[in-house]
Structure 1
Amino acid sequence: MRAFPAPRAELGEAPVWDAERGALLSVDVLGRRMFRHDVAGRLTGDWALPRIPGSFALRRGGGMLMAWRNGLALGEPEAGRFVDLPAGPLDFARERFNDGRCDRRGRFWVGTMDRALREPVGALYRVDPDLSVHRVLGGVTLSNGIAWSPDDRVMYHCDTAAAVVRACDFDLAAGVASNPRVLVCFAEGDGRPDGCAVDAEGCLWVAVVEAGVVARFDPSGRRLRELRLPVSRPTSLCFGGEGLRTMFVTSMRHGMTAEALAREPLAGSVFALEAGVSGLPETRFAG
C-alpha cells in the first residue's frame, strides 16, 4: 500500500482512472479542486473549480461532464472553461448532487442527497448523451457509490445515511434500474458504505467510512475480505494502472479533531493498493 505524498484533501472523492493518459483524477470537494496523479503518485495537475463538485465523468470527445452540488456543466478544468446545463427535474432546495458514474452505454448516473441529511428525498438520475436528465429511483437519503455487475444485469448503489448497499435489476438497453433491495446492511458501529466499484470477477468493493477498510462482497452480499487502511475515513475507490490491477482509494480529513488527525496523519490522502484482482474499464460519457 502506498499513500500519495500530496495533497491532503479535506474531502477527497470521485477517483476516476483516465486510461488514455494513464492518470488518476480525483477531487477535493470542500477545497473545490481537481487533482491529477500519475500511477506512481506524482501530482501532475491541480486545478481550482468554480463550484463545489459532487462527481464527474470524462467525455468521449474530450473534456468532462461535471455534477456540481447544485447543477450540471460541460467543461475543461485545465482551461477553467465550463458551460452550465439544464438540470431537469431536480429541486435543489431539497436535494443536491453527489456521487456518479457512467454505465456501459455512456450514460451518466448521478445520485442526490437530502440537504439536511435526514429524509429520503434524494434520488438516482440518469443523464443521457443528449444531455436530458431523468429521475429513475427515489427514496434515497445520501446517495453515494454506483456500480454495475460485469453482465450489466445488476446495479449496485450505496446509501450512506441509511447504511445500506442496494442491488437493483438493470436494463442496459433501456437505461432503467428497478426492484431495489437491500444487499448489505451495516450494523451500528460497523461504519457506513460510501463509494464502490465492481471487479472483473463480479465482486463489489465498498469504501467503508468510519471503519477504515475497503470491503469485498460477492453478488449475494456475503463479505469475503477487507483491506485495512491507515485512516478511518476512506470515501471512494476505482481500479486503474496496468491491467487495472491497482485500487485507488480517496479519503477525508473533514470533521476530524486535532487529536484524531495526530493519530491519522495520512487522512485525506489517496492510497494505491494491490487488491489481487483486476477491475473493469471506466466508460466515458457519450454526450
Structure 2
Amino acid sequence: MINFIDESPKNILTARARLGEGPCWHLQKQLLYWVDIYNHRVHEFNSTTGEQKFFDVGEVVGCIAPAKTNRLIMALRHRLAFLDTSNGEVTPIIDVETEKPSDIRLNDGKCDPAGRFWFGSMSTSGSRARLFRYDPDGSLHVVLTGLTVSNGLGWSPDQKTFYLTDSPTKKIYAFDFDVASGDINNQRVFAAIDIDSGVPDGLTVDRDGCIWSAIWDGWCVVKFDPTGTEMARISMPVQRPTCCVFGNQDLATLYITTASVGLSEEEIQKSFYSGDLFSLATNTSGMPTYEFAG
C-alpha cells in the first residue's frame, strides 16, 4: 500500500530556475550546490543563513560533484571541467561526446564511493546516449551504451549495487557494482514508474538503501524500498521535480530541485513555484555525497 506523505516540502529559495538539477551536499563546507542547466549556473546555498550565490560557467552544465574544499567537478555540454568556488574560475579537463554535438549533451552525474566521477549523456534522436566514468588517474571509460536520457544514479549503502535511470523508458535499473574496479554488470529493472505522464528523473539513496526518485511531470518524489517496491509519495506543489539529495549535519533534510522549462502559461499558473528549491525534514538520513578523488 502506497503511503502519501502529508507534510509538504517547504519552498526555501525563490530561484525560478529554468532547469534546476543535480543537487549535492558538500559535507565539509555544509553547503548545498546545484545547477540551473540552461542558465549556465552553479548555485551555492547556505541552509543555515539562507544566503545563496551562483557562478556563471558560460555554457550548459549538466551536473556537479565536490572535488576538494574549494573545487567542483562539472559535466558541461561536451566536456568535463573544474570550478573553483573561491573565484569562479573554470578549468577544462577533457572533451566528451564532441563527435555528436547537435543532438547529444552531457547530463546527470555523481561520484562513486571510490571517488570516480560517473556521468551520462542524453540524446534527442534515439538510443545514442552513453554512461561514462572518469577516474582520478585521468582515464575516461565508456561504461554503458544504448541509453536515451542517462539520469538519476546512485549506490547502495553496502556499495554492491549501482542504480541508473533511463528517463524516457520510465525505468530505474540496478547493476551489480564492484567498488574496487568500478565495473558494473547484471543489469535488471529495479523499478518501473506507473504514474501517468510522469517520468523518473534524478534520485538519491538513504542509509536504509531506499531510493528517492523525483518524478518529472508527476508532481511528486517517490520512495522505493531496496526491492523496488513503492513505499511513499511526497506531493510537490510543482509539476516538474528534477532531483533530490539529503543534507544538513544529520543528512536528514531532503533537498529537491525543480524546473520551469517547457511549461505553458496555463501550466505555470498551476505550478507557480516551478524552478524554486524545496526542502523536507525526514525521519531517515541519506548517504553522504561522495567527492572526486583526483
Instruction: After superposition, give the CA deviation of every residue in 1:207-240 in whole Å (9 maximum; x if it has no partner).
Output: 0111111111112210011111111100001000
Could you tell me how far 1:123 is from its partner in structure 2? 1.4
What is aligned with 1:171? 178
Tell me how far apart the structure 1 counterparts of residues 163 and 117 of structure 2 sit (CA, whole Å): 14
Residue 21 of structure 2 is aligned to residue 13 of structure 1: yes
Query: 8 Å contact 2:13–2:278 — kept in the other structure?
Result: no
**SS of alignment partner, residue 268 of structure 2:** helix
> Is it true that 1:161 corresponds to 2:196 in the alignment?
no
Structure 2, gaps ≥5 residues long: 1-8
2:108 is the alignment partner of 1:99: yes
The aligned counterpart of 1:42 is 50
Aligned to 1:28: 36
Of residues 45, 64, 77, the one that matches 2:72 is 64
**Separation of aligned partners in 1, 2:247 and 2:13:** 18
Secondary structure in 1 matching 2:227: coil
Deviation string for 1:189-217 (max 9, x for gaps)?
A: 25100000110011111001111111111
Give the root-mean-square deviation of aligned CA atoms.
1.6
Q: TM-score of the superposition, structure 2-length normalised?
A: 0.92
Equivalent residues of 2:28, 2:69 under 8 A apart? no
- Identical aligned pairs, as a percentage? 34
Which structure 2 residues correspond to residues 190-209 of structure 1 after superposition, within 5 A? 190-209=197-216
Aligned partner of 1:261 in structure 2 is 268
CA distance in structure 1 between the aligned counterparts of 2:49 and 2:274, rounded to whole angstroms: 16
Matches within 5 A, 1:59-138: 59-60=67-68, 62-87=70-95, 91-93=99-101, 95-114=104-123, 116=124, 118-138=125-145
Query: What is the TM-score when the length of structure 1 is the normalising length?
Result: 0.94
- Please list every run of 5 or more consecutive structure 1 residues that lacks an aligned counterpart in the other structure: none
Partner residue, 1:3: 11
Deviation at 1:90, TM superposition (A): 6.2
**Separation (CA, whole Å) in 2 of partners of 1:89 and 1:58:** 23
Matched residue type, 1:168: F
Of 182-191 and 93-102, more deviation after overlay is shown by: 182-191
Determine if contact 2:34/2:64 at 8 Å carries over to the other structure. no
* Residue 64 of structure 1: how far off its partner (Å): 1.5
2:61 alignment counterpart: 53
The structure, 1 or 2, with the larger RCO (C-alpha pairs under 8 Å, 6+ apart) is 2
What SS does the aligned partner of 2:222 have?
strand
Contact 1:37 1:45 in 2 (8 A): yes
SS at match of 2:108: strand
CA shift digits 1:115-152 (9 cap, x unpaired): x2x41111111000022110011121001111000011
How many residues matched? 285
Q: Is the partner of 1:9 in helix, strand or coil?
A: coil
